Amino acid sequence: MSIEIDILNGDASWKEAEPLFNAIWPPHVIATLPWAGVVFAHAELRVFVRDEVDGVVCHVGIYRREVTWNGRKLRAGGIGGVLTREDKRGRGYATIALEAALRTLKDEGSTDFAMLFCEPKNAPFYTARGWTPFEGEIFVEQPSGRIRFTAIAPHVFDLRRKLRQGTIDLCGQPW
Ligand SMILES: CC(C)(COP(=O)(O)OP(=O)(O)OC[C@H]1O[C@@H](n2cnc3c(N)ncnc32)[C@H](O)[C@@H]1OP(=O)(O)O)[C@@H](O)C(=O)NCCC(=O)NCCS
């Protein structure tokens, strides 16, 4: 089975991503998750993995943000919405899509670190792929104002900077 990888504008390609989000995270499932009720940012870019029979089988969202770490401005690359169709898992699609997303962030040259948030059950998936838990505090914007974000655990991928502790302010909504 051959696959194709595309990286598209996030807003323009939302319609292609939406069925996968709805299949994996319908509202009644989201309601049971630790991040129910969180308002997330929209992806700036989206990685799509397609197979020749079923079309989109995997998605990863890419975000870019000027954040602060202990008050210093840094350039973060965000990863979110990592999703593989249930019947297409275990074929390396999410690994390929994550690699494509990280390559995009690396190629830009100015990204200091990449960051994602995940539920505890998915942490081993990311640590096995070079991500490290970030042990400091995260602040984000929500409709209620600036809050400390603890719903899901931050993980970092080292690019130009190796962050492990301290305070990161995402200066916007989480991803
Ligand atoms: C997590 C997810 C994206 C993985 O997608 P995938 O395309 O199956 O991933 P890959 O095929 O690249 O990698 C699968 C490997 O990761 C392992 N894996 C998958 N989920 C795992 C988890 N939660 N913890 C540890 N390992 C995990 C598989 O056992 C498999 O291992 P193997 O290669 O040794 O057989 C997919 O399970 C999914 O869409 N889950 C629901 C949505 C979700 O929770 N997304 C993560 C949001 S942070």
> What is the position in ligand 1's atom list of the atom closest to the CA of 119?
48
Q: Is 140 in the pocket of ligand 1 (CB under 6 A)?
A: no
Question: pLDDT band at 1, cuts 50/70/90?
Answer: confident
Nearest in space to 56 (alpha carbons), one of 47, 66, 65, 64: 47
pLDDT tens-digit series, residues 102-123: 999 999 999 999 999 999 999 9
Q: Which atom of ligand 1 is nearest to the CA of 91?
A: 11
Q: Is residue 119 part of a domain?
A: yes
What's the CATH number where 135 sits? 3.40.630.30
The answer as to whether 43 is a domain residue is yes
Tokens 């792929």, located at residue: 129
Q: Is the pLDDT of residue 61 over 80?
A: yes
Condensed to tens digits (0 to 9), the pLDDT of residues 81-96 reads: 999 999 999 999 999 9
The answer to whether residue 27 is domain-embedded is yes
Q: What domain range includes position 75?
A: 3-169
Is the pLDDT at 126 greater than 80? The verdict is yes
Determine the pLDDT at residue 50.
98
Mean pLDDT of the chain, nearest integer? 97
- From the CB of 58, is ligand 1 less than 6 Å away? yes
Q: What pLDDT digit, counting tens, does each position of 5-41 carry? A: 999 999 999 999 999 999 999 999 999 999 999 999 9
Distance (Å, whole) CA 119 – CA 140: 17
Ligand 1 centre to CA of 42 (Å) is 22
| Count of the separate structural domains present in the chain | 1
Q: In this structure, is residue 174 part of a structural domain?
A: no
Choosing from 22, 84, 93 the residue with most ligand 1 atoms within 8 A of its CB, the one to mutate for a pocket test is 84
Report yes or no on 76 lying in a domain.
yes
Tell me the pTM.
0.96
Residue 175: inside a domain: no
Nearest CA to ligand 1 atom 31: 90
Judge whether 38 lies within some domain.
Answer: yes
User: Smallest Cα–Cα separation from 67: which of 2, 5, 1, 156?
Assistant: 156
* Amino acid 138: pLDDT: 98
The answer on pLDDT for 44 being more than 80 is yes
